[in-house]
Chain A
Amino acid sequence: GNSVTQMEGPVTLSEEAFLTINCTYTATGYPSLFWYVQYPGEGLQLLLKATKADDKGSNKGFEATYRKETTSFHLEKGSVQVSDSAVYFCALTSGGSYIPTFGRGTSLIVHP
């Protein structure tokens, strides 16, 4: 079956630090990969996505590249802000199933 593994948090950084949140997956077929973000008191919202190998998704300074050879989709940002503090979820859909598989989520805390 499909699965998504994310690094455990919380990840604590100072403002303007570089961010990496690791995500690896197992899936049948050719999955589509997603990063969702959940700000405090809100639901999840799409941050970025990639639908085929070597695609790079990007949004709000965040990037992630679909790496089929390493089955990874790591999230990166060059300079984080306090407002980036949230929980980040890696997810995939695959194998003709529209039911997404989510990782456990990684909490990011950015200090001024």
Chain B
Amino acid sequence: ETGVTQTPRHLVMGMTNKKSLKCEQHLGHNAMYWYKQSAKKPLELMFVYNFKEQTENNSVPSRFSPECPNSSHLFLHLHTLQPEDSALYLCASSQDPTGQETQYFGPGTRLLVL
């Protein structure tokens, strides 16, 4: 399998649940990203990992907890979420985060918090 994959594609959870989103890239890239895409709002960068080290945390609430065990895998652990956290969560990767390289996106996980 090639490209960036995300699982699950759809997730419904209650506010007291704990769940995790998974992202995997098969492109040999060094940087991975989590974005939140909400209706009628700009794309929001949440976290950036470069060579497994977190280099960006864009003031994201602590109920979102990222994990990057290696350069190919990225997780987003979710707990005690709020209904306003319902959105499409996109994972992306890039070869070399120097500003020139294209971002490759996964298909996203559509999250609904009840």
Q: Is the CB of A99 within 8 A of B43?
A: no
Interface string of B63-107 (1 = CB under 8 A from A): 000000000000000000000000000111010011111111111
Please tell me which one of the listed residues B90, B100, B103, B108 contacts residue A51 in the complex, with CB atoms under 8 A apart. B100
Q: Scan residues 27-41 of chain A and give those whose CB is less than 8 A from a CB of chain B.
A: 32, 34, 36, 41
Contacts of B56 in A (CB 8 A): 99
- Kindly state whether residue B48 has any CB partner on chain A within 8 Å: yes
A1 to chain B, nearest CB (A): 13
Min Cβ gap B10→A in Å is: 10
| Size of A's binding interface in residues, CB under 8 A | 24
The reply to whether the CB of B21 lies closer than 8 angstroms to some CB of chain A is no
A89-B43 contact given A44-B103, A46-B103, CB 8 Å threshold: yes
Q: B61 — which chain A residues lie within 8 A by C-beta?
A: none
Q: Which residue of A lies closest to B110 (CB)?
A: A41
Kindly state the separation between the CA atoms of A89 and B105 in the bound complex, as whole angstroms.
Answer: 13
What is the distance, in angstroms, from A97's C-beta to the closest C-beta of chain B?
Answer: 6
A98 touches B97 (CB 8 A): yes
Q: Could you name 26 residue pairs across A and B whose Cβ atoms are closer than 8 Å?
A: A32-B99, A34-B102, A41-B107, A42-B108, A43-B6, A43-B90, A43-B106, A43-B107, A44-B90, A44-B103, A44-B105, A45-B104, A46-B102, A89-B43, A93-B99, A94-B99, A95-B99, A97-B99, A98-B31, A98-B48, A98-B94, A98-B99, A99-B45, A100-B45, A100-B103, A102-B43
Interface residues of chain A, those whose CB is within 8 Å of chain B, are 32, 34, 36, 41-46, 49, 51, 89, 93-100, 102-105
